[in-house]
Structure 1
Amino acid sequence: MTTSTDPAGEELTARQQAVLDAVLALMVEQGGDVTMTAVARRASCSKESLYKWFGDRDGLLTATIRWQASKVRAGNYDRQRLDALALRDSLIRFAANWLSVISSPTSIALNRFAIARAGAGESNLGAIMLGNGRFAIGERLKPVLDAGREAGLITFADTETAFRTFLGLVGRDVQIRVLLGDTLDLSPAAVEADAARATDQFLALYGTGRAPGRA
């Protein structure tokens, strides 16, 4: 059976992944809010199975957020043999991946729903989004930055500050604009170009002269 590990380290079967994809599809169609009944109907499974796999509705939403966040990953690299080109490529891969995910209809629906719920004080979904989204993504990229520093390719005093700088260069105002319904060119070519631009700007700020860049 096909399985995948979510950011919490839990194994998801192909059937459970299909359920979470059904949740995301419903969020896009219904503007965010979903019920266990609607998910069971869309995923062709019983509500009992949903409760067994994910607990209550908040547990299902938490698993959905983790599943969406798990799609953002840094590129492959060998920490022991990291060179300038490999570092740049890994950062570009992360940047392009992250931009594609945050600008997708599913992420937009998730974020709008979380913001609305947080504003109404109805649940801790905002904290769940931060913990399993932005903070979890940071834990995935920070080792790349630390490896680059250990290899003498980039230099910075604080990993968190360097990560926030990189994220700011990559994201710019894209996320807030898509959340507000603005139309942007987010084609694969445009995303790739933006990812490369942001990476080169980051390397211009933090590079030691051994990393290639066109900033």
Structure 2
Amino acid sequence: MTDAVPPTAKQLAAQARCAAMVAHARAQIMAVGVQRFNLNAVLREAGGSKATLAKYFGDKTGLIAAAIGEEAREAMAALVPVEPARGQSLEQTLQQLLAGVLRFYLQPGALALYRAVIAMADQTEHAAAAGFYAAGHGAVVDAIAHVLTSPPAALSPDAARAMADTLTHAIRAGVYERALLGLEPLPVADAAIAAQVAHTLALCLPGIIAAQG
């Protein structure tokens, strides 16, 4: 087997600029949302250029999608256990995971981001909305599916992803929808989050158990 060729200094510098662009884009998106996103400010702060943007991200929409995806993946990595705690049931594992997912969605920055993307869904930046859905929602679904393909659930990949998609939508009913509309004061109480998790599992857990067979 041929040893991998180490990256050149130029490649390392480009990687560092890309990482900086994503980091500054994440910070700006969570602070002001997508509609007020200022690409020139990101490029200036990151030391990048429009040529670098075009080469590695395509355009502003690609950078926004990359930033949203990293935000979601990082949040989910902190929530998803490498393997379930010893003696923990599937229900307990999902209770812990879904509570964390709902807290992530209820962050003021995440709520502001979702509102901004919904507002632009029918406008010229429709691709940004699609990127948000694929990167943000997709990262959450992937994380939940990872848990469902592992013991004790051990579902097939297709079944796990279908169930994860259902869980992700169900957990955003009720308290999250009210918070999104400004009808639920923040921060949302732990009791309300626990209640939403319980309702979601009451609806979905029987289907997950049935899929194990």
Partner of 2:96: 93
Aligned residues: 190
Partner of 1:135: 138
Change (3 A) 1:13 1:54: closer
Within 5 Å, which residues of 2 pair with 1:55-204?
Answer: 56-70=59-73, 71-73=75-77, 74-78=79-83, 85-147=88-150, 148-150=152-154, 158-184=159-185, 186-187=187-188, 189-190=190-191, 193-194=194-195, 197-198=198-199, 200-201=201-202
What are the Cα deviations for residues 133-180 of structure 1, in whole angstroms up to 9, with x where unaligned? 2233212211322333339xxx9x943443244334422233332222
* Separation in structure 1 between the aligned mates of residue 118 and residue 207 of structure 2, nearest angstrom: 33
Cα offset, 1:182, TM superposition: 1.8
CA RMSD of aligned residues (A): 3.8
Task: Output the TM-score relative to the length of structure 2.
Answer: 0.67
Cα offset, 1:132, TM superposition: 0.9
Cα offset, 1:65, TM superposition: 1.1
Cα offset, 1:201, TM superposition: 2.2
Say which of 29, 32, 35 aligns to 1:27.
Answer: 32
* Separation in structure 1 between the aligned mates of residue 120 and residue 111 of structure 2, nearest angstrom: 14
* Separation in structure 1 between the aligned mates of residue 81 and residue 46 of structure 2, nearest angstrom: 36
Give the letter for the 2:25 counterpart.
L
SS in 2 for 1:33: coil
* Separation in structure 1 between the aligned mates of residue 19 and residue 127 of structure 2, nearest angstrom: 28
Task: Output the TM-score relative to the length of structure 1.
Answer: 0.66
Change (3 A) 1:114 1:25: closer
Percent of aligned positions with the same letter in both sequences? 22
Change (3 A) 1:178 1:119: farther
